[in-house]
Structure 1
Amino acid sequence: MNPNKELWEKGDFTRIAESMRESGDALVSGLGSIKGLKILDLGCGDGTTALPEAKLGADVLGIDIARNLVEAGNKRAEEEGLTNCKFQEGDASDLHQLESDTFDLVISIFGAMFAPRPFYVAKEMVRVTRTGGRIIMGNWIPNDPTLVAQILKISSSYSPPPPEGFISPMTWGIEDNVVERFAAANVSKEKISFARGAYNFNFPSPPSELADAFRKYYGPTMHAFDAAEMNGRADDLRKELESLFNTQNRSLSEMATSISATFLRVTVDLN
């Protein structure tokens, strides 16, 4: 079983995703015309990009490893009357329930990068995409100075060593690794392009409260705090995260938070 299932079901990522909605809308609006396209949103969470895709007329299937996020996504789609948006459980590295050559667009924004077995992830994304379709990924970048890369870096320094054979999800933020993984799925380098993008976290409370939300609801940070508490270092971790959020906050209001995080945008054209 994918070990990430327990990690992502442990918290409640919907509480974090609420701060990401505006950037999700903006990213989808930049995809061009998607009306009538069949889209797979992989590692979709509760639908930060899947719902905007459906609102623009696409036929969207969202797949996520976490049952609670799938349930939340289906609830959001139902509340908004989006009959063209469905969510189901699944593993990005094993999409056996999906037929090959099915989707016009496979998109994964900070989702599939966290799945183990990255070569299988690339292979599966290519397999389910039809000829002439596209794959778009948004991946956090290792050692990037902005928010999420630093959260994950700080959290890992308080966490137990990963199991043998573990491949960091941050390796999806390295262009050469991306090329290598898609090459193994028979996609040439010329069909892959890269760009840097910015994803904004907007939260109607001070930075310390957003940091606290990550502590309580974001799986990797929760895991780090569990380990830090056992070692008597939880307060150190809390202070590091609060300092990070305060330093990176760009909101002009003391009662709000606005932080930008840089990511690697990957586009694969399967022409």
Structure 2
Amino acid sequence: MLSKLMSFFLLALVRFLTGSQARWYGCPPKAEQRIYFANHQSHADLVMIWAALPQELRSITRPIAARDYWTQTPFRQWITTAVFNAVYVTRQAAPAAAAGAAPSPAAEAAAAPPAPPADLADLATAGGPDPVPERPQAEPSPEALRAAVQPDDPLAPLVQALASGDSIVIFPEGTRGHGDEPQPFKSGLYMLARMFPQVVLVPAWINNVQRVMPKGEVVPVPILCSVTFGAPIALAPGEERRPFLDRARSAVIALRDV
């Protein structure tokens, strides 16, 4: 009961401070499993997207929350757990934050193509006969990729949330940016797209929220803000990590001026 009252209060507060306008430019608000991925400039980004979603989507969507920040006080932890139903991620270091963290060695091994046998490689290097080309190895299945994720992998809580049927909100930059454009996306979104090909990937652009709660400030300032949701993208067969991440980043940036 208390969490529901706090939810109503926070919705009213966020909408008073920001307007919390949701703009569904490329897709309708639909109750299907999704990964929303957005630019990241403030801790308030989590709250902004949560407030922008309609109730039927908010109830099935879990934003990620940096454990070191959102569990600093009992109140923050209660808010993110009881109200937002957030997924905590551990930021082991600033460059490896949130869903942008690199996958575990086991996950990387499952995703990487097998190396050629040492003896064949030596023959080619020594000028011997060309090795007989092997048949292309099949890519690991989504099930194999998910099984390779270790409990201490930064992606493990997100994999668990998606496996249980939840939608999630992630910030692929990994840490908050300060410029007009997002920083290069880290590998987490790519790995999740490979592990859960059936989940719809929806880009989003959060506008102005960094001015509501600038870094280092504790008192919010009323500023009109919006969240624009774009057309879904999908990982193409055989698409490599960096081209996909660059394309996903471009999809987010394209929503800035819509």
Greater C-alpha radius of gyration: 2
Of Structure 1 and Structure 2, which has the larger fraction of its residues in strand?
Answer: 1
Normalising by the smaller structure, the TM-score range is 0.3 to 0.5
Q: Which has the higher contact order (CA 8 A, sep 6+)?
A: 2
Higher helix share: 1
